[in-house]
């Protein structure tokens, strides 16, 4: 009797796993569609969905396990993933899980250039399952107030640039787009936005979206500062 | 484990309800069998400690010899992991490898629980200035150089957890030695590899300072 019980349990588990993978598949296909749009630095496809990234996206993340796994990250990203006003570390709380998986996998593979973080994201430290766990944990975290903002001297210019160049992808309120791997930028630390925008413009990020590179190429330092300041003040959803 | 739990809970197939109850009974039995060590195990562990461990680590796990670590208050799961790593050779120690190899792995859990239950003592800070700068590094890290705060994993009070060892009150000499073991690739397996990076990003003086701070916790 008990043997039958265990067998049924296994069947239930297999079926539910299969259903889970199937339910995620449209997301993966959609994202693949998007990923083939253009090539980034060094002829690499932007956000090419293969290997570990694809694997992590198909795994079911667990918030409790993610909280435990995130301990390795919170030495830098802080408890509650608030990041740092200095811009050294981004806020991750509330970020889309898909974006987080993409970025962690890219840093790990070296596709995104981040020598500071890479040793802490290598496979001896973090399993693929833990990447998925951390992503759902962070996505569910409340977004903390009092984040780093800019000087507030060119907000009109920032607003104008954002509406013209950024809102199409990152959303009117900076909410981003989980399915298309566009990060939520609202309420991100000003200095972090500044740093990454410079990296993306100057070809130092590695995994920049080529569409964004095209747009930001024309930006002067003051334009970048204005739009980063504006974004840092957008209220996260 | 959690995914087993969820699937048993979903009741998709007829009869899954019964299997859920069976699952819970099995889980409870598992807890009874694999749960906290029984009184007999505790006595046995005390005997092993007296015979094998106490000469270096002290009967209460508060070693008084600087190059032997204090084990009192260390999380049982972490201690079990360490013993297994000494046996498998992933963690290298000329002293501990042969000792751990002679122990019965079935006793590891009881030994972990024995040391985990001992009250840890603090050491004495000898260099207040170093301890103060060590505290800053331990609690905040250094953003500029990408040094994580140690507290992120080892917790603010240095108590550690099942995944990360307790550091509070540990001998400064032992802490410094381990940091060099990380830096020089002696301890380079699994998640410990991230400590190599941390140790490399710290100067000799900074390693000493953090150790000085931790000794006094």
pTM for the complete prediction? Answer: 0.80
Instruction: Identify the band that residue A44 occupies on the pLDDT scale cut at 50, 70 and 90.
Output: low
How many angstroms away from the CA of B128 is the closest CA of chain A?
Answer: 24
In a domain, B52, yes or no: yes
* CB contact (8 A) between residue A89 and residue B143: yes
Residues of the domain holding B159: 128-215
pLDDT in tens, A105-124: 999 999 999 999 999 999 98
| CATH number for the domain formed by residue range(s) A2-232 | 1.10.760.10
B58 belongs to a structural domain:
yes
Q: Which residue has the higher pLDDT, A174 or A146?
A: A174
Same domain, B26 and B56: no
Task: Read off φ and ψ for residue A155, nearest 5 degrees.
Answer: -70, -30
Position A209 scores a pLDDT of 95
Mind telling me how many Å the CA of A191 is from chain B's nearest CA? 13
Query: B63 and B44, same structural domain?
Result: yes
B28 plus B50 within the same structural domain: no
**Strand pairing partners for A177?**
A182
Indicate the number of domains in chain B: 3
**Residue B198, pLDDT above cutoff 70:** yes
| Closest-CA residue of chain B to A126 | B191
B58 and B133 both lie in a single domain? no
- B136 and B168 housed in the same domain: yes
The answer to whether residue B153 sits within a structural domain is yes
Q: In this structure, is residue B122 part of a structural domain?
A: no
Distances (CA, A) of B149 to A68, A121, B145: 16, 16, 12
Domain edge (last residue) among B117, B152, B184: B117
Do A90 and A236 meet the contact criterion of CB atoms below 8 Å apart? no
pLDDT band at A14 (very low <50, low <70, confident <90, very high): low
Of residues B7, B144, B152, nearest to A9 (C-beta): B7
Say whether pLDDT at A184 is over 80.
Answer: yes
Question: How many residues does the structure list for chain B?
Answer: 217
Q: Which residue of A has its CA nearest to B192?
A: A125
Nearest to A12 among B13, B151, B191 (CB): B13
- Domain harbouring B185, CATH code: 1.10.760.10
* pLDDT given at position B52: 97
Instruction: Say what the ipTM of the complex is.
Output: 0.77
Residue A25: closest CA among A64, A54, A62, A66: A54
Residue A5 pLDDT: 45
Query: What is the model's pLDDT at position A16?
Result: 60
Q: What letter would DSSP give residue A72?
A: H
Same domain, B203 and B181: yes
Among A93, A71, A83, A95, residue whose Cα is nearest residue A195: A83
Cβ proximity of B164 and B82 under 8 Å: no
Domain spans, chain A = 2-232
Q: Does A62 touch chain B (CB under 8 A)?
A: yes
Report the C-alpha gap between B74 and B71 in whole angstroms: 6
Do B141 and B211 belong together in one domain? yes
Interchain contact A60–B (C-beta under 8 A): yes
**A24 has pLDDT over 60:** no
The pLDDT tens digits of the residues spanning A65-87 come to 999 999 999 999 999 999 999 99
For residues B92 and B171, state if they share a domain: no
Nearest CA in chain A to B138: A75
Query: Same domain, yes or no, for B67 and B21?
Result: no
Query: Does residue B7 or residue A126 have the better pLDDT?
Result: A126
């Amino acid at each position: 009797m008990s043997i039958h019980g265990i067998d049924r349990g296994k069947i239930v588990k297999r079926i539910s796993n299969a259903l889970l993978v199937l339910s995620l598949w449209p997301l993966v296909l959609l994202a693949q569609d998007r990923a083939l749009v253009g090539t980034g630095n060094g002829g690499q496809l932007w956000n090419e969905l293969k290997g570990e990234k694809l694997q992590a996206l198909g795994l079911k993340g667990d918030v409790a396990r993610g909280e435990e796994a995130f301990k390795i990250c919170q030495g830098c990203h802080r408890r509650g993933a608030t990041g740092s006003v200095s811009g050294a570390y981004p806020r991750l709380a509330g970020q889309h899980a898909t974006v987080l998986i993409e970025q962690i996998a890219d840093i790990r593979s070296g596709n995104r250039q981040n020598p500071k973080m890479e040793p802490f994201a290598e496979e001896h430290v973090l399993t693929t399952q833990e990447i998925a766990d951390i992503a759902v944990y962070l996505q569910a975290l409340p977004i903390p107030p009092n984040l780093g903002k800019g000087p507030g001297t060119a907000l009109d210019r920032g607003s104008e640039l954002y509406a013209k160049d950024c809102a199409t992808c990152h959303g009117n309120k900076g909410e981003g787009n989980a399915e298309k791997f566009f990060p939520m930028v609202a309420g991100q630390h000003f200095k972090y936005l500044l740093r990454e925008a410079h990296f993306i413009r100057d070809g130092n990020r590695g995994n920049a979206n080529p569409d964004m590179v095209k747009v930001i190429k024309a930006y002067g330092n003051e334009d970048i500062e204005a739009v980063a300041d504006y974004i840092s003040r957008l209220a996260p959803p | 484990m959690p995914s087993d739990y969820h699937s048993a809970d979903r009741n998709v197939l007829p009869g899954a309800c019964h299997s859920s109850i069976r699952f819970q009974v099995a889980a409870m039995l598992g807890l009874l069998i694999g749960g906290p060590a029984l009184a007999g195990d505790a006595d046995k562990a005390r005997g092993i400690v007296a015979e094998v461990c106490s000469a270096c680590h002290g009967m209460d796990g508060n070693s008084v010899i600087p190059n032997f670590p204090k084990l009192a208050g260390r999380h049982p799961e972490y201690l079990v992991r360490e013993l297994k790593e000494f046996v498998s050779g992933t963690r290298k120690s000329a002293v501990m490898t042969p000792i751990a190899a002679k122990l019965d792995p079935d006793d590891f859990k009881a030994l972990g629980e024995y040391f985990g239950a001992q009250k840890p003592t603090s050491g004495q800070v000898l260099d207040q200035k170093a301890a103060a700068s060590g505290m800053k590094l331990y609690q905040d890290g250094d953003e500029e150089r990408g040094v994580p705060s140690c507290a992120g994993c080892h917790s603010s009070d240095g108590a550690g957890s099942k995944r990360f060892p307790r550091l509070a009150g540990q001998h400064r000499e032992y802490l410094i030695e381990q940091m060099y073991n990380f830096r020089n690739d002696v301890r380079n397996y699994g998640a410990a590899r991230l400590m190599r990076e941390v140790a490399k990003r710290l100067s000799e003086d900074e390693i000493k300072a953090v150790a000085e701070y931790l000794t006094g916790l």
